[in-house]
Every structure is written in structure tokens, then in C-alpha cells.
Homo-oligomer: A and B are copies of this chain.
Amino acid sequence: MASSHFTASVSERPVAQVEADLEPSTAHGADLRFHGVVRDSEEGRPLTGIEYSHYEAMALKELLRIGEAMGREHPGHLALVHHVVGHVPAGVASILIRVQTTHSAEAFEICREYLRRIKASVPIWKRPVFAEGTVEAGAS
């Protein structure tokens, strides 16, 4: 789903695959990419991964709402958000936020703001999969 400056997707597709297909730009001097990576522990307990689930009808819609608002507030940037759902192993990214701007300073501010808004309102939930095997990884 995309508007002129913003592309969003929520799927089981790995971030690395999405990133491999990114197009370069000759008009934007800054290309900032935030990867949110699954860590291997939570509150001291070892994790093998995180199982992400989402409220399908709303997650993409809310991402697009955020993108449209950001486009109004920060004209001129391009952004792409991809969130992985399903099982993501420790050490692997579950979200990619790419922001392209003409100059560098604003890229940091914009990318950070996307992350803040996505965390605050996009209905995607995570369930830690502990190494002990007490929680099975599986389809959500």
C-alpha cells in the first residue's frame, strides 16, 4: 500500500528481502534505514525469537494514516515501512523504516518520529518465544 511518498507493508517477507529490492534515488542525499532487531533475551530470560501477530484490517491502514500525516508535516521526504509478522528469530529484523531526504539532518528526525508513532498506534503485538520451549513458535 502506498501514497506518493510512502510505502507500507506488513507480511511474513523478511526485511532483508525487502531491502534487497529498494530503489536508489539520485535526488535524496540521505537514505536512513532503521532495523528493529529481535534480541536474544527479555528480562534476563533467553529467547529464540518473537512471534508477531497483527490486527490485519487495521495495521496497514494505521501505517498509511501515519505516512499521510508525516507527509503533510515533513513535505519532501520519501519513506517505506515494512513490518514482519509471524516468527522472527533472534538477531533478525522485524521492522524496517527507510527515510530518504534531500539533506541528512531531517532524515534522523523523521525516521525517529515514524518509529515513535508506529510503536504507539499500529496494532502489531509480540509474543516472546523463550529458549526453554515453554512457548511454542507457531502461526498466530
Contacts and interface: CB of A to CB of B under 8 A. Distances in A.
Q: Main SS of the interface on chain A?
A: mixed
B36 A35 contact: no
Interface string A10-51: 000000000000001111111111111111100000000000
Nearest to A102: B39
Contact of A33 (B35, B38, B104, B112): B35
A136 B26 CA distance: 20
Given A24-B91, A30-B35, A32-B33, A108 B111 contact: yes
A107 interface: yes
Contacts of A29: 36-39
